[in-house]
Every structure is written in structure tokens, then in C-alpha cells.
């Protein structure tokens, strides 16, 4: 959810928009970026629920920027080059604004920070930490790896859901066609047979008579129902409730939890490699965890601030797995916390990929069987009166 934040920054009053799970998280993110927060409230938009906000190709931007910087161009020259070759109006506006601010003498991280809807706080913080030491290209390389891995994991999940969704969609359309078009016409043919029709077939044909008389109302009600469900799914409270129910499902809930922790570890590892203190980094990645884990993260942050080890604090408050706990302990001994966090995320993402493959192999056949049984039962009940009539004639 987006929050509008009014704050003081560099002796000036500014308004920024931050993506966060709640107002407290939005305030923490703003304070972590150096803002003195005055007020936080949900951002209001006059666009419809179907309107799409412009999407800036952040990964492609960083890949192109890295190539130009390694070729010897300065940041100002690289941004100017990218702005000149950009053809999409929204992206060109973002790059033009960046170039104008850089020419005014504003640092690259501050120019990025001025467009929070485009450049996430994790990216801005990583750039700020490394531009001070002249290691900007290293920061961009780490973000490219982080974003590429995150996008790859997301694509795997979406790709795994496409085929089952197609099966479910086609099966639902076939069942709707049978119940709203075929059955009503069968009901007109057999409406005079009365008690000679089996009970289940009689109920189905009564439904057909009702659908024949109120077809437009049923179609309109179905469209409204789908619209209402689609709108409800865009609400944060509904998404949270669904997420809680999913987490209660055996095995699937654990896979979802591990996926959320993997995102958390990868982002935290990137910030640690950028040299950002662990307490500050924890404030910045809070939005990657579900709201249900925010109290645990706040408690772990407090323990770490008081001098407790990262592995012990995470273990106490349920932010580890059996594998991540051991790897965190190794990282504390070797001093390579950032690298080990990224390795932990990679291990869990590979484990999640195997779980997705197992789910596909099991769920797709079951879904096809269920759809086939439902369609078969509807067809059988439609033809049962014909079998009954043939038997009575004999």
C-alpha cells in the first residue's frame, strides 16, 4: 500500500510517496532515508481500479547504466545518453528529471531519492552507501543480481500458475455453458415427464427452467460477482486475510513462509554488502515481510541493537529455518554476513522451485480429474431422462 509522507529534508518541507505494509513501516522507511517525518497518511488516487501506473524498467535501466559507466562515462553523461535514446514518454520523463538534478549538482542518490515511486529505498540506500567510496558500479552490479534473482523467482511462480489457471478457466466456461445454455434447452424437452425423471436429473432440469426464465439476471449477477471478487482482491485487508489462510495450509504455508524469508535474506544481504549497518538495514527491509512477522522483526531488531548476535535474535523470534540458522552462525564467525545471506536466499529459492515442480505434477492431474468428473456428472444427469424414456418404451 502507498503512503503519502510529509517531512523535513535538508531544511525543506517535502512530500514523498512510500510503498509499505502500514503507516509505521512507511514512517520507518522515511526516517531511514534521512527524513524528519511530520505526517503519514494513505495515498489517495483518483484513478480507477483498472488504471495502470507507468512502469519504469528499473532492471534494464541499471544494466544499461552499468555498461556506460564501465565504458568510462560519468554518471551525468550516462543518464543523458539513456534519456536521449529513450522513446517511452514515462521513462524519458524520469530520466530527464534525473539528468536535470544531476546537472544542478545534486548527488546521484539524492536524485534517485526524489522519485520514490520509481526507485525503491533499497536501491537508493545501496547507491548512497557506495557512491561515497567511489564503488557505484559495484552497487549497481549487486542490485542487478538482486533484482534478477527476485524476478526469476517470481516468474517461476507465475509460470507455474498459468497452466492450472487455464485448465480451471476453460473447465469453468464449459460448466457454465452446460448449465446456462444446454441444460435449459433440455429442460424444455423433458418438462412433461414429471416424476418419471430421476431425482438428481429433475433437480438439474428445474435449474435449467429457472436459468431459461432468468438468463440475463444470472449473467449480470455473475459479471457483478466477478467484478466484486476482483475488487476485493485489490484490498490490502483481503490480501492479508487470504495470506493468513494460505499459511495455515500444511506444507504450502511453510513454503510461503520460506519464500518470504528468502526475499528478506536476499535484500538484507545486498544492503550488508553495501556496508549499511544491520539495524538500519532491518528497518529498510521490513516491507518485504508479511505484517504478521513485523512484531518479530521489531523484537529481533531491538535485541540486535542491544548487542545480541543476529543468528540468536532471528532464531528467538522465528525468522530462521534450520538451514539459515546454521549459515548465519558461520557468517558471524567469518564476517561475511552479506554474502552468506545471499547464499541462504539462493538455497531456499532452489528448494522452493523444487516444491513448485512437485505441486504442478500433483495439482494439474487432480484438477483435470475434478473438472472431468463435474462435466461428466452434468452430462450424465442431462441424458438420464432419455435413458428413462427409452426404458419405459421398451
Summarize pLDDT for 87-136 with one digit per residue, the tens. Answer: 888 888 888 888 888 888 888 888 888 888 888 877 887 888 777 667 78
DSSP states of 179-245: IIIIHHHHHHHHTT-GGGS-HHHHHHHHHHHHHHHSHHHHHHHHHHHHHHHHHHHTSHHHHHHHHHH
The answer to whether residues 322 and 209 belong to one domain is yes
Cell of 179: 448449465
Asked whether residue 137 is assigned to any structural domain, the reply reads no
Reported confidence tier of residue 48, pLDDT bands at 50, 70, 90: very low
pLDDT of residue 45: 44
pLDDT at 394 over 60: no
Mean pLDDT of 156-175: 81
Asked whether residue 144 is assigned to any structural domain, the reply reads no
Asked whether residue 109 is assigned to any structural domain, the reply reads no
pLDDT at 303 over 60: yes
Cell of 68: 556506460
Mean pLDDT of 218-241: 80
Asked whether residue 80 is assigned to any structural domain, the reply reads no
Asked whether residue 206 is assigned to any structural domain, the reply reads yes
* Average pLDDT for the chain: 79
The answer to whether residues 273 and 157 belong to one domain is yes
Asked whether residue 299 is assigned to any structural domain, the reply reads yes
What is the rounded end-to-end Cα distance, in angstroms, of the chain?
69
pLDDT of residue 133: 67
pLDDT of residue 46: 39
2: enclosing H helix or E strand: strand 2-9
Domain end, chosen from 11, 28, 45, is at 45
Q: Which of 131-145, 186-200, 286-300 has the lowest mean pLDDT?
A: 186-200
Summarize pLDDT for 348-373 with one digit per residue, the tens. Answer: 888 888 887 787 788 888 888 888 88
Q: What percent of the chain has pLDDT over 70?
A: 84
The answer to whether residues 167 and 38 belong to one domain is no
More confident residue, 47 or 11: 11
Please report, for residues 261, 283, 301, the alpha-carbon distance to residue 311 in angstroms, rounded to integers and kept in the order given: 14, 17, 12
Q: Work out whether strand 12-19 and strand 2-9 pair parallel, antiparallel, or are unpaired.
A: antiparallel
Asked whether residue 62 is assigned to any structural domain, the reply reads no
Please report, for residues 108, 185, 203, 205, 326, the alpha-carbon distance to residue 217 in angstroms, rounded to integers and kept in the order given: 58, 17, 20, 18, 60
The answer to whether residues 189 and 310 belong to one domain is yes
Mutual orientation of helices 322-334 and 337-393 as an angle, nearest 10°? Answer: 170
More confident residue, 247 or 319: 319
Mean pLDDT of 26-30: 76
The domain of 7 spans: 1-45
For residue 265, the domain's CATH number is: 1.20.81.30
Reported confidence tier of residue 21, pLDDT bands at 50, 70, 90: low
Count of the separate structural domains present in the chain: 2
Q: What percent of the chain has pLDDT over 90?
A: 1
Closest to 153 measured CA to CA, from 273, 255, 20: 255
SS3 166: helix
More confident residue, 30 or 188: 30
The answer to whether residues 193 and 326 belong to one domain is yes
The answer to whether residues 324 and 197 belong to one domain is yes
pLDDT at 341 over 80: yes
Asked whether residue 82 is assigned to any structural domain, the reply reads no
Reported confidence tier of residue 391, pLDDT bands at 50, 70, 90: low
pLDDT of residue 73: 87
The answer to whether residues 311 and 164 belong to one domain is yes
The answer to whether residues 188 and 41 belong to one domain is no
Amino acid at each position: 500500500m502507498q503512503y503519502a509522507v510529509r517531512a523535513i529534508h535538508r531544511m525543506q518541507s517535502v512530500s514523498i510517496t512510500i510503498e509499505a505494509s502500514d503507516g509505521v513501516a512507511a514512517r520507518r522507511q522515511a526516517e531511514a532515508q534521512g527524513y524528519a517525518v511530520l505526517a503519514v497518511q494513505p495515498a489517495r488516487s483518483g484513478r480507477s481500479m483498472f488504471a495502470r501506473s507507468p512502469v519504469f524498467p528499473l532492471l534494464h535501466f541499471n544494466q544499461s547504466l552499468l555498461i556506460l559507466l564501465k565504458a568510462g562515462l560519468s554518471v551525468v553523461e550516462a543518464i543523458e545518453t539513456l534519456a536521449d535514446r529513450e522513446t517511452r514518454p514515462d521513462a524519458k520523463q524520469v530520466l530527464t528529471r534525473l539528468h536535470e538534478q544531476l546537472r544542478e549538482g545534486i548527488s546521484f542518490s539524492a536524485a534517485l531519492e526524489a522519485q520514490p515511486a520509481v526507485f525503491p529505498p533499497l536501491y537508493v540506500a545501496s547507491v548512497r552507501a557506495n557512491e561515497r567510496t567511489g564503488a557505484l558500479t559495484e552497487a549497481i552490479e549487486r542490485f542487478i543480481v538482486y533484482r534478477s534473482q527476485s524476478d526469476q523467482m517470481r516468474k517461476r511462480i507465475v509460470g507455474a500458475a498459468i497452466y492450472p489457471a487455464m485448465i480451471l478457466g476453460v473447465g469453468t466456461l464449459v460448466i457454465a455453458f452446460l448449465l446456462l445454455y444446454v441444460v435449459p434447452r433440455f429442460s424444455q424437452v423433458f418438462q412433461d415427464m414429471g416424476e418419471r425423471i430421476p431425482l438428481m436429473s429433475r433437480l438439474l432440469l428445474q435449474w435449467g427452467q429457472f436459468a431459461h426464465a432468468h438468463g440475463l439476471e444470472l449473467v449480470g449477477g455473475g459479471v457483478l460477482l466477478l467484478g466484486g471478487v476482483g475488487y476485493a482482491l485489490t484490498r490490502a485487508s483481503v490480501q492479508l486475510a487470504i495470506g493468513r489462510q494460505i499459511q495455515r495450509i500444511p506444507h504450502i504455508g511453510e513454503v510461503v513462509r520460506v519464500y518470504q524469508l528468502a526475499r528478506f535474506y536476499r535484500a538484507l544481504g545486498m544492503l550488508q554488502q553495501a556496508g549499511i549497518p544491520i539495524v538500519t538495514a532491518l528497518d529498510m527491509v521490513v516491507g518485504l515481510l508479511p505484517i504478521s512477522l513485523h512484531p518479530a522483526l521489531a523484537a529481533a531488531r531491538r535485541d540486535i541493537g542491544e548487542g545480541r548476535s543476529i543468528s540468536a535474535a532471528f532464531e528467538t523470534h522465528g525468522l530462521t529455518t534450520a538451514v539459515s540458522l546454521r549459515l548465519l552462525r558461520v557468517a558471524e564467525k567469518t564476517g561475511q554476513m552479506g554474502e552468506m545471506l545471499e547464499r541462504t536466499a539462493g538455497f531456499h529459492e532452489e528448494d522452493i522451485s523444487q516444491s513448485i515442480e512437485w505441486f504442478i505434477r500433483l495439482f494439474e492431474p487432480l484438477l483435470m480429474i475434478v473438472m472431468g468428473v463435474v462435466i461428466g456428472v452434468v452430462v450424465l444427469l442431462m441424458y438420464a431422462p432419455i435413458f428413462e424414456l427409452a426404458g419405459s418404451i421398451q
